[in-house]
Amino acid sequence: MTAPAAPVRLLLADDHPVVRAGLRAVLETEPDFEIAADVPTAEEAVALAARLDVDVVLMDLQFGGRMLGSRATAEITARPGAPRVLILTTYDSDADILAAIEAGATGYLLKDAPPDELAAAVRSAAAGKSALAPAVALRLMDRMRTPATALSRRETEVLQLVADGLSNAAISKRLFLSQATVKSHLVHIYSKLGVDSRTAAVAAATARGLIRR
């Protein structure tokens, strides 16, 4: 414990060159960190995580439109002796957070985190402890407190089409349902979200990150 431990080996994955450079700059100043590589795509992160035997992967969730961040996380953590994965992203969308944690992420940080918080999170992750940014933790607590937030698969599907601007008739055709069924789903959605119109449901769901935009 008191002996100078082996350095924490890091892999940075983010599609923004500026962010990669920033993470390098911020983390390189920590004497016990060693940055093995930085990559611009989720695919390269998966490949190098295995090859370079790193301790912690710092990964963005949004890779230029492609939603591969959480999948990459799942693939990395699936292997035995896998490194810890720390999600580092701009948004605190509920859906993203849940997906990342289910995919096996050890922590979830926001990009506006100050450098010392970032370094602390990396050390926590390396030690196997979970690390959540305060803002993210609050959000999770909030979600736990309101159990009604969980929409069923079908309800989410319907709501997503509503958000895309489709009418009930169009949705019923798309999903091979009757309009009555679509309305039933909507009624349930409204009561779960505490709203009373389709537009309000979309607003509430996007605010809570239940559907993608």
Partner DNA sequence: CCCGCCCTCCACCTTTCGATGGATGCCGCG
Partner DNA sequence: CGCGGCATCCATCGAAAGGTGGAGGGCGGG
**Which residues of the chain form contacts with a second copy (CB under 8 A)?**
15-26, 64, 90, 111-115, 118, 162-167, 195, 197-204, 206, 213
Based on the shown chain and the rule CB under 7 A, indicate whether residue 148 belongs to the binding site for DNA: no
What sign results for the dihedral spanned by CA atoms 168, 169, 171, 172? Answer: positive
Give the nearer residue to DNA in terms of CB position, either 90 or 199. 199
Q: What is the strand order of the sheet 107-110 is part of?
A: 33-39, 8-13, 56-59, 84-89, 107-110, 131-132
User: Does 66 participate in binding DNA (rule CB under 7 A)?
Assistant: no
Among 18, 80, 153, 213, binds DNA (CB under 7 A): 153
Number of residues that bind DNA (CB under 7 A): 25
For the CB of residue 212, give the shortest distance to DNA in the complex, in Å: 18
What lies within 8 Å, CB to CB, of 174 at 6+ separation is 161, 166
- Residue 137 is inside which H or E element, if any? helix 134-145
Of 45 and 201, CB closest to DNA = 201
The answer to the question of residue 181 lying near DNA (CB under 7 A) is: yes
Min dist. Cβ of residue 46 to a second copy (A): 20
Stretch that binds DNA, among 19-27, 35-43, 90-98, 181-189 (CB under 7 A): 181-189
Instruction: Name which of DNA, a second copy, none residue 165 binds, using a CB cut-off of 5 to 8 Å depending on partner kind.
Output: a second copy
Instruction: Name the token pair of 156.
Output: 């989410």
CB of 206 to a second copy, least distance (A): 6
Alpha-carbon radius of gyration of the chain: 20
Q: Residues with Cβ < 8 Å from 56, sequence gap 6 or more? A: 8, 9, 10, 11, 83, 84, 85, 86, 106, 122, 125, 126
Residue number, 98 or 177, with CB nearest to DNA:
177
How many Å apart are CA 109 and CA 122, to the nearest integer? 10
* Contact partner at residue 153 from DNA, a second copy, none, CB < 5 to 8 Å by partner kind: DNA
Kindly state whether residue 198 participates in binding DNA, applying the rule CB under 7 A: yes
Contacts of 9 (CB under 8 A, 6+ apart): 34, 35, 36, 52, 53, 54, 55, 56
Q: How far is the CB of 133 from DNA (least distance, A)?
A: 28
* CA 155 – CA 23 distance, rounded (Å): 39
Which residues contact DNA by CB under 7 A? 150, 152-155, 167-169, 175-181, 183-187, 190, 196-199
